[in-house]
Amino acid sequence: MNILFMGPPGAGKGTQAERIVEEFDIPHISTGDAFRLAMKQGTPLGQKAKEYVDQGLLVPDDVTNGIVRERLQQDDCAAGFLLDGFPRTISQAEALDEMLAGMNRKLDHVINLKVDRSLLLARLTGRRICKSCGSTYHVLFNPPVEEGVCAKCGGELYQRSDDTEEKVGTRLDEYISKTAPLLAYYDKQDLLREVDGEKEIDTVTAEIADCLRGTE
Ligand code: ADP
Ligand code: AMP
Instruction: Summarize pLDDT for 170-201 with one digit per residue, the tens.
Output: 999 999 999 999 999 999 999 999 999 999 99
The whole-model pTM stands at 0.97
* Residue 69 in domain: no
- Stretch 129-139: mean pLDDT, rounded? 95
* Residue 12 in domain: yes
10 lines ligand 1 (CB under 6 A): yes
Catalytic residues: 13, 88, 127, 160, 171
Is a pLDDT exceeding 90 seen at residue 214?
A: no
Amino acid letter, residue 62: D
% of the chain surpassing 70 pLDDT: 99
In three-state form (DSSP H/G/I as H, E/B as E, the rest C), the secondary structure along the chain is: CEEEEECCCCCCHHHHHHHHHHHHCCCEEEHHHHHHHHHHHCCHHHHHHHHHHCCCCCCCHHHHHHHHHHHHCCHHHCCCEEEECCCCCHHHHHHHHHHHHHCCCCCCEEEEEECCHHHHHHHHHCEEEECCCCCEEECCCECCCCCCECCCCCCEEECCCCCCHHHHHHHHHHHHHHHCHHHHHHHHCCCEEEEECCCCHHHHHHHHHHHHHCCC
* Residue 33 in domain: no
56 lines ligand 1 (CB under 6 A): no
* Residue 164 in domain: yes
* Residue 34 in domain: no
The CA-based dihedral angle spanning residues 32, 45, 174, 138, taken in that order and rounded to the nearest 10 degrees: 30
- Stretch 44-54: mean pLDDT, rounded? 97
* pLDDT per position as a tens digit, 54-103: 999 999 999 999 999 999 999 999 999 999 999 999 999 999 999 999 99
pLDDT at position 215: 67
The number of domains in the chain is: 1
* Residue 154 in domain: yes
* Residue 83 in domain: yes
Pairing of strands 136-138, 127-130: antiparallel
- Could you give phi then psi for residue 130, rounded to 5 degrees? -80, 130
> What residue owns the CA closest to ligand 2's atom 10?
56
> What residue owns the CA closest to ligand 2's atom 2?
32
137 lines ligand 1 (CB under 6 A): yes
What spacing in Å lies between the alpha carbon of 48 and ligand 1's midpoint?
27
Contact 31, 67 (CB under 8 A): yes
Classify residue 193 as left (phi > 0), alpha (psi -120 to 50) or beta: beta
Contact 109, 211 (CB under 8 A): yes
CATH number of the domain bearing residue 130 = 3.40.50.300
- Stretch 13-31: mean pLDDT, rounded? 97
Measuring from each residue's beta carbon to the nearest atom of ligand 2, which residues come in under 6 Å?
9, 31-32, 35, 52-53, 56-59, 64, 85-88, 92, 162, 171
pLDDT at position 216: 64
* Residue 54 in domain: no
User: Residue 195 belongs to what domain range?
Assistant: 2-26+79-213
pLDDT at position 173: 97
Partners of 157 in the β-ladder: 130
Quick one: pLDDT band at residue 25, thresholds 50, 70, 90? very high
